[in-house]
Amino acid sequence: MTYFRPRLPARRLLGAALAVVAVTSSGTPRAVAVTIASTEGGGFVASAAAPSTAAPARPDAFDLASSTAVLSSVATDRASVAYRAFVRTYWNPTTRLFWAESDHSIRAGGRLRIADFWWSAELWEVVMDRYEATRDPAARKLIDAVWDGIVALRPTLASDYNDDRNWWALGATRAYRLTGERRFLSAATRISNDIWRYWDGTFGGGIWWRHSVHDQKNVATNAAAAITAEHLYQSTGNTLWRDRATRLFRWADAKLRTGDRIWDRVTWSGVNHSQYSYNYGTYLGAAATLESITHSSVYLAKAVAAAKRAVAVFAPTGVLRSEGTLDGGAFRGIFLRSFTNLTVSHGQRQFIPFILNNANVAWSHRTSAGLYGPNWSVRPTGRIDAATESSGAALLELAVPVAQAR
């Protein structure tokens, strides 16, 4: 604002918008628009603003007709908002653990306020989604902090469930690739070797879901363990990991796939035909990574077929449907991580509109606190558990490389 007493009869200029030339602090002439108004003291005030030379305001949604630069900018901005809300709500820097619920209460059906062991692995993945997409230095520090917190709580990352242990091993392979810290590689190697002890010939092969009870072998354990082994091979060149990954994938492919449908598990009663998005995600993720390792188009074809089926099964309206809260709330995040990798790193650009549309819908139905519920097409009310939030936050972060790949 500039206050002045004009030489001309100022009242004749009230409300007028004048075009004048100003000189910037660097000495550069610049056109500005000046509007005249009176003050209580009998003087006048001139408000100046430079004419806008910027592009029109970016939309609050992805418009595929926009340029890649605009799409990327929108995605990055929205991911930042989502990530800040996620960290602000769920991360406890004092304990270096995640809260289970948005209101920090005891989680539904549980006894503790902290996030479950395997949920925490998925929450860690969201932090790495952020760092991989933006190289945010705060996210880099949080990668270490999350790991240090869980190791302080469970020094050996022990669990009766092999899939739960593998989520941490899988995350550790990613943390190693992102940071170069060998402690992550060492932990992933140790856990994966231990999990492999539970492979046997029952049901034609595969790793048991649990240590204490041998009642099922499932996709979540075996296909996810295949991805971990693939990453260990890529990081070390040790063919033992490539061979294990191949055996794990081939077993899951033979036992728990019919056509392009991926079934959940095999038990003493036979194959259970339940379908979950995270099973499709781990299956297609293992297949796509094997294609990178072996250069066999057969694996890529399997991955694409599973991806197309997943879209048909879990998104008949074009938006990934709810699979519930708590454990089920984390399923879509796991699926999307592999699905995005297939889209961006394996040239399957036909899936770009689908991912960006899901991001649009979820963004439009976030809470006032910036959180995401189980149904991305409906604004949630009440508390939101951390597992459910992990999928929404992951979606917004993963939209960044997808928008950049458009």
DSSP code string of 236-270: H--HHHHHHHHHHHHHHHHHSEETTEE--EEETTE
Give the H or E element holding residue 4.
strand 2-4
Predicted pLDDT at 67: 85
How many whole angstroms separate alpha carbon 102 and alpha carbon 395?
A: 18
Strand-strand pairing, 265-267 and 261-262: unpaired
96 φ/ψ sector (left φ>0, alpha ψ -120 to 50, else beta): left
- Phi and psi at residue 369, in whole multiples of 5°? -90, 0
Q: 124 is written with which tokens?
A: 């860690």
Give mean pLDDT in consecutive 10-residue pieces for the chain, a chain of 406 residues. Answer: 36 38 37 41 43 40 78 94 98 98 89 94 98 96 98 97 98 98 98 98 98 98 98 98 98 98 98 98 98 97 98 98 98 98 97 97 97 98 97 98 94
Give strand pairing partners of 21. 31
Predicted pLDDT at 28: 36
203 φ/ψ sector (left φ>0, alpha ψ -120 to 50, else beta): left
How many whole angstroms separate alpha carbon 155 and alpha carbon 132?
A: 26
From the list 250, 224, 249, the residue with the least C-alpha distance to 172 is: 224
Q: 266 is written with which tokens?
A: 């095999």
Domains by residue range for the chain, with CATH: 2-49 (no CATH), 68-405 (1.50.10.20)
Per-position b or e across 218-245, b if 16+ CB within 10 A of its CB: bbbbbbbbbbbbbbbbbbeeeeebbebb
How many whole angstroms separate alpha carbon 370 and alpha carbon 147?
A: 25
Predicted pLDDT at 34: 42
**What are the distances in angstroms from CA 90 to CA 133, 224, 370?**
20, 25, 12
- The single residue listed with the structure tokens 């003493």 is 268
Which pTM does this prediction carry? 0.85
Contacts of 319 (CB under 8 A, 6+ apart): 357, 358, 361, 376, 377
Predicted pLDDT at 38: 40
**What are the distances in angstroms from CA 134 to CA 138, 178, 294, 353?**
10, 12, 30, 21
Alpha helices in 256-321 (DSSP H): 277-294, 297-314
- The single residue listed with the structure tokens 């204490």 is 212
Type of residue at 382: G
Predicted pLDDT at 207: 98
Residue 21 in 3-state DSSP? Answer: strand
- Cα-to-chain-centroid distance, residue 368: 20
How many whole angstroms separate alpha carbon 303 and alpha carbon 286?
A: 8
- Cα-to-chain-centroid distance, residue 391: 6
Predicted pLDDT at 134: 93
